[in-house]
């Protein structure tokens, strides 16, 4: 099909999310937000990991979901089906650069 992007891992877009698992987690977090268990829920939040350098583009990590828990701690979540080598490096950079340990949800 022309103009239709296919996910290389076979995930199917669902309700505006990149996968069924991500849609399910989005629904769960929406309930948690409405019940007051979490606050400031955001989706697809971009974090700069390496700034642009001469002749090079910056490197970013995009978290599926970002929110604050009841203690005000910032939580970044990634719904993972496949843990690629690129993701593992970005996960480690998130901890080093931003002090945020990504919470992985299957």
Residue 7 has pLDDT above 80, yes or no: no
- Across-strand partners of 98? none
Residue 4 has pLDDT above 70, yes or no: no
Share of the chain above pLDDT 90, in %: 76
- Across-strand partners of 29? none
Q: Give the range of the structural domain holding residue 51, as residue numbers without chain letter.
A: 20-105
Q: How many structural domains is the chain composed of?
A: 1
- Specify the pTM: 0.82
Q: Which two tokens stand for residue 86?
A: 């690129």
Is 83 a domain residue?
yes
How far is residue 48 CA from its own chain's centroid? 13
Domain containing residue 36: CATH number:
3.40.1350.10
Share of the chain above pLDDT 70, in %: 86
pLDDT at 3: 47
pLDDT in tens, 38-62: 999 999 999 999 999 999 999 999 9
How far is residue 1 CA from its own chain's centroid? 28
Is 4 a domain residue?
no
Is 15 a domain residue?
no
Measured CA distances, 36 to 41, 68, 71, 95 (Å):
11, 11, 12, 27
């Amino acid at each position: 099909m022309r103009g239709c992007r296919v996910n290389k891992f076979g995930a199917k877009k669902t309700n505006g999310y990149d996968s069924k698992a991500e849609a399910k987690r989005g629904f769960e977090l929406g309930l948690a937000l409405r019940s007051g268990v979490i606050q400031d829920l955001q989706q697809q939040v971009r974090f700069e990991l390496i700034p642009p350098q001469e002749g090079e583009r910056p490197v970013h990590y995009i978290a599926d979901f970002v929110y604050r828990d009841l203690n005000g701690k910032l939580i970044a979540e990634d719904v993972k089906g496949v843990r690629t080598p690129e993701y593992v490096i970005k996960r480690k950079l998130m901890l080093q650069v931003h002090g945020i340990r990504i919470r992985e949800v299957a």
